Amino acid sequence: MATMRTKYAQCEFGAMAYWDNKLDNDAPALLFLHGISSSKSVYQKQMESSLLANRFRLVACDLPGHGESDWAESDKNAYTMLFYTKALLEFLEELACKKIILIGHNLAGHIIAEALSKLTAHTKIKAIIITGMAPIGRPTPMIADAFLPMEKEGPNHLPIFMNGPITKEQLEIWSHHVFAGSNLSTYQQSFISDVKKSDPKARVRFGQEWSSSRLSDEVKIFQKSNIPLLFIQGTEDSLINPQITSSFKLHNMWKDKIETIASCGHTPHLESSEEFNSLIAQFVVDIS
């Protein structure tokens, strides 16, 4: 595979790393945002897809504290949803896209929901694509309701991915929950590498935001929006509670349902990239 050249956008917190194919046309740009302790590298199969790359400007970035981006200073605002929102707004200003489609996995899905009102005030958001994420509502469901249980939790009884220091055993358990079946052996090492490169404080803050009910009513946010939505879920996702996602109904959801990909775990963009990319292409054409 060809190696992407990493570029950097200067934000208030520091440098934000990203890939950009720089395609210049009238189509909306696609901005790919990764999950907790991950990186832009999980979107390599989208960046290199001729189905997408020949039609759209594709951008994949490392969130603050992840991948090749700088880590945030240790203060009370680091890695809060407001912190991510500010960084994302600064990054979008750097990109100077007239219209954009946001694709968010896991943590990034929550960031998009929390930041949506501010994002739409500054940028023309044409559509939103969410995968590997269960939007929370009110009353806020407990973490145990939104996420399926793991065999081993962290010391504060939160899921492993909401804890700072992670042991080798916990990394093994976490990766087994991320990937379905034979996909584990293909992607486990790159997953572990991404986790080790990420700032542990980002995981801790994610847990604090959840456990203290600081997150907004994300279901209501999406319900009030008229922006077209595509939700993609792996049928073998063993992190996200299917009872939460299956009950999620919105007037602006594409085809009035969550799109599912068979034999796929928590990362459809990696494990079933061709089907994932095809769904994106169909969705964008349909809403245009």
CATH code for position 30: 3.40.50.1820
b/e code 48-86 from CB counts within 10 Å (16+ = b): ebeebbebbbbbbbbbbbbbbbbbbeeeeebbbbebbbb
Query: Residue 190 CB: number of other CB atoms within 10 A?
Result: 16
The model's pTM is 0.94
pLDDT tens digits, residue range 204-245? 998 888 777 778 888 889 989 999 999 999 999 988 877 777
- Residue 62 inside a domain? The answer is yes
Determine the pLDDT at residue 218. Answer: 86
Q: Which of 218, 214, 221, 196 is nearest to 76 (CA)?
A: 214
Distances (CA, A) of 136 to 83, 104, 125, 265: 19, 15, 21, 20
φ, ψ (nearest 5 deg) of residue 174 = -60, -50
Domains held by the chain: number: 1
Determine the pLDDT at residue 94. Answer: 93
- Residue 95 inside a domain? The answer is yes
Determine the pLDDT at residue 135. Answer: 82
H or E element, residue 10: strand 7-10
Determine the pLDDT at residue 105. Answer: 98
- Residue 126 inside a domain? The answer is yes
- pLDDT per residue, tens digit, the chain (288 aa), is 456 899 999 999 999 999 999 999 999 999 999 999 999 999 999 999 999 999 999 999 999 999 999 999 988 899 999 999 999 999 999 999 989 999 999 999 999 999 998 888 878 899 999 999 988 776 655 555 666 666 555 555 567 788 888 889 999 999 999 999 889 999 999 999 999 999 999 999 988 887 777 788 888 899 899 999 999 999 999 888 777 777 778 899 999 999 999 999 999 999 999 999 999 999 999 998
- Residue 77 inside a domain? The answer is yes
Determine the pLDDT at residue 157. Answer: 52
288 token code pair: 């245009």
d(CA 20, CA 32): 10
Listed in sequence order, the residues at least 6 apart from 219 whose beta carbon sits closer than 8 Å to its beta carbon are 135, 136, 137, 138, 248
d(CA 210, CA 159): 11
- Residue 1 inside a domain? The answer is no
Contact (Cβ atoms closer than 8 angstroms) between residue 270 and residue 45: yes
Note down the domain range covering 72: 7-287
Listed in sequence order, the residues at least 6 apart from 82 whose beta carbon sits closer than 8 Å to its beta carbon are 114
Q: Which of 160, 156, 154 is nearest to 175 (CA)?
A: 160
- Residue 104 inside a domain? The answer is yes
- Residue 179 inside a domain? The answer is yes
Q: Which of 228, 270, 260 is nearest to 32 (CA)?
A: 270
- Residue 2 inside a domain? The answer is no
d(CA 25, CA 249): 34
Determine the pLDDT at residue 152. Answer: 52
Determine the pLDDT at residue 1. Answer: 45
CA end-to-end span of the chain: 31
